[in-house]
Amino acid sequence: MQKLFSEFSPSSISDWKNKFLNDIKESTFESYIWQNENGFDIEPFYNSESLSHSYLPAFTHSNWDVCVNSSSSDSKTLNSELLNQLARGANSISINCSNINLIQALDGILLNYIQSTFYIDNQSASSLFNYLSDHYNLNELNISILPILFNNENDLKNWANNKSLFNGFDGIKTIGVNLYLSHNQNCLAYYEIALIFSSLVEQLEFLSKKDKISNSKIVIKTGVNSDYFIQIAKLRAIRRLWNNLKIVYNCNNDIHLIVETTLTNKSISDSYNNLIRSTIESMAAIAGGCNELIVSEFDSLNPTDKILSERLAVNQQLILKDESYFDKIADVSCGSFYIESITDAIASKALETFKRFENEGGYFKCIEKSIFFNEINIQAKHQQDKINNQEEFSVGVNRFKNELENLEFSPNQIESLSNLCINNPGLNFELNNYLKS
């Protein structure tokens, strides 16, 4: 092995550039540098000189939990769907507790053996606490609890009161943010990170003034799209920035990252293409260090076979574990010249944007001033224009579309899709076109 290394002398980045220029002849090196939509340059190649220092792994776990959720508002139906998914290989559930009968919804589900996430409001907080206290030893549970609403200081105060019910149990994680909706509004990767930390700082500032921050992990729920390397870098950058932030708050809490595949790029008419997209997104989420992964059903925009789509959403993850061995290596991107470089670039741009939010008064003030709303709309429109103008291709959406397929929606389906567009303004133009026609 030593002889092998001695036979090949190392090449500097200058050597690579000279070889590059010699091969392309009439072009310049600069003409092959392009600016990513997140606002930083991407070089034609990277080597060890591209890195400012050596890097430690961004995370050390290799496995993740296969998480499922259900949008059903009927408690018995919700229970049936979750039990079926758990029987097929899922080991984590996510539930919105609003208007849900927890006794019915969780019947037969053993929370002490799985990871679970509950979204609560003022009405459901005590119901959840009473249910868990009656059925379990709270010290034995591994649960994330997040607020349904977190848009102003009143929401923060309500959340502080609600989370106090669960204080003292390190396995119950009550500090965290859910920015999946912002992701589905099609905001850029660096901007998404800045939103996450702006929201998180509001909680940490408030809690640090009241009492000591608990030792439980910090929960971050976000999304992932098909921009593979950028999304890996985005998730790694979250952990890198958190390592800096926890020094400020003198805490050692780790990040618990829940990632869900996006809805923004999914096709209605050629829904099986969505299986490819969500698999790429899943791979990015895993390589980026997710602790839980939710794969959206391939026909979620136009459901045709719920049993099949639910099963495939779980099986995609099981294949990545059992056949592709994605659960065998932690932070496979660590040391990659390219991915480490763009991780640094995204983290730097996110930190700069986060500071701008703080100068505006913080997360709630930015919401009040419509800063997030206006800036995300601009980002989403830019992405939409690229799709509309064929500058970016999406199979089944704006390229190789099945023009012969005639979709018919019932009034209930149209209402459901309209609500989906309202709640997720960044959804692809194909969906909006169907609703307009």
Contacts of 283 (CB under 8 A, 6+ apart): 228, 320, 326
pLDDT of residue 425: 53
3-state secondary structure 1-67: CHHHHHHCCCCCHHHHHHHHHHHHCCCCHHHHCEECCCCCEECCCCCHHHCCCCCCCCCCCCCCEEE
Task: Specify whether 275 is located in the same domain as 333.
Answer: yes
More confident residue, 364 or 266: 364
Per-residue pLDDT band at 267 (split at 50, 70, 90) = confident
Radius of gyration of the chain (CA): 23
Sign of CA dihedral 391, 394, 399, 404: negative
Q: d(Cα 224, Cα 234) in Å, to the nearest integer?
A: 9
pLDDT tens, residue by residue, 10-20:
788 888 888 88
Task: Specify whether 170 is located in the same domain as 234.
Answer: yes
Task: Specify whether 18 is located in the same domain as 98.
Answer: no
How many other C-beta atoms can be found within 10 angstroms of the C-beta atom of residue 196? Answer: 25
Mean pLDDT, range 22-41, rounded to an integer = 86
pLDDT tens, residue by residue, 198-252:
999 999 999 888 767 778 899 999 999 999 999 999 999 999 999 999 898 888 8
pLDDT tens, residue by residue, 306-341:
889 999 999 999 999 999 999 999 999 999 999 999
User: Is 362 among the domain residues?
Assistant: no
| pLDDT score of 436 more than 60 | no
Domain boundary among 316, 339, 362: 339
Task: Specify whether 28 is located in the same domain as 140.
Answer: no
pLDDT of residue 10: 77
| pLDDT score of 286 more than 80 | yes
Per-residue pLDDT band at 415 (split at 50, 70, 90) = low
Mean pLDDT, range 146-152, rounded to an integer = 94
**Overall pTM surpassing 0.85 (yes/no):** yes
Residue 94 maps to which CATH number?
3.20.20.240
pLDDT of residue 208: 83
> How many residues in total does the chain contain?
437
| Cross-strand pairs, 219 | 176, 256
| pLDDT score of 284 more than 90 | yes
Task: Specify whether 156 is located in the same domain as 23.
Answer: no
Task: Specify whether 33 is located in the same domain as 94.
Answer: no
| pLDDT score of 264 more than 70 | yes
Token digits of residue 253: 């809490």
Closest CA to 363 of 180, 135, 206, 162: 206
User: Is 258 among the domain residues?
Assistant: yes
Task: Specify whether 35 is located in the same domain as 76.
Answer: no
Mean pLDDT, range 184-190, rounded to an integer = 93
| pLDDT score of 427 more than 60 | no
Domain span including residue 105: 65-339
Q: How many domains does the chain have?
A: 2
Q: d(Cα 92, Cα 42) in Å, to the nearest integer?
A: 37
User: Is 387 among the domain residues?
Assistant: no
User: Is 23 among the domain residues?
Assistant: yes
Whole-number average pLDDT of the chain: 89
User: Is 368 among the domain residues?
Assistant: no
| Cross-strand pairs, 116 | 93, 143
pLDDT of residue 304: 81
User: Is 423 among the domain residues?
Assistant: no
| pLDDT score of 288 more than 90 | yes
pLDDT tens, residue by residue, 348-360:
999 999 999 999 9
Q: d(Cα 262, Cα 189) in Å, to the nearest integer?
A: 13
Task: Specify whether 254 is located in the same domain as 166.
Answer: yes
Mean pLDDT check: name the lowest of 94-103, 199-208, 268-277, 370-379: 268-277
Estimate to the nearest angstrom the gap between the alpha carbon of 307 and the chain centroid. Answer: 25
**Angle between the N-to-C axes of helices 273-287 and 306-322, in degrees from 0 to 180, rounded to the nearest 10:** 40
Task: Specify whether 275 is located in the same domain as 329.
Answer: yes
Per-residue pLDDT band at 382 (split at 50, 70, 90) = confident
Phi-psi region of 417 (alpha: psi -120 to 50; beta: other; left: phi over 0): alpha
Task: Specify whether 45 is located in the same domain as 76.
Answer: no
Place of tokens 């579309």: 401
Instruction: Supply φ then ψ for residue 220, to 5 degrees.
Output: -130, 120
User: Is 396 among the domain residues?
Assistant: no
| pLDDT score of 297 more than 90 | yes
Q: d(Cα 207, Cα 174) in Å, to the nearest integer?
A: 11
3-state secondary structure the chain: CHHHHHHCCCCCHHHHHHHHHHHHCCCCHHHHCEECCCCCEECCCCCHHHCCCCCCCCCCCCCCEEEEECCCCCHHHHHHHHHHHHHCCCCEEEEECCCCCHHHHCCCCCHHHCEEEEEECHHHHHHHHHHHHHHCCHHHCEEEEEECCCCCHHHHHHHHHHHHHHCCCCCEECEEEECHHHHHCCCCHHHHHHHHHHHHHHHHHHHHHHCCCCCCCEEEEEEECCCHHHHHHHHHHHHHHHHHHHHHCCCCCCEEEEEEECCCCCCCCCCCHHHHHHHHHHHHHHHCCCCEEECCCCCCCCCCCHHHHHHHHHHHHHHHHHCCCCCCCCCCCCCCHHHHHHHHHHHHHHHHHHHHHHHCCCHHHHHHCCHHHHHHHHHHHHHHHHHHCCCCCCECCCECCCCCCCCCCCHHHHHHHHHHHHHCCCCCHHHHHHHHC
pLDDT of residue 411: 64
User: Is 410 among the domain residues?
Assistant: no
Task: Specify whether 138 is located in the same domain as 198.
Answer: yes
Task: Specify whether 46 is located in the same domain as 107.
Answer: no
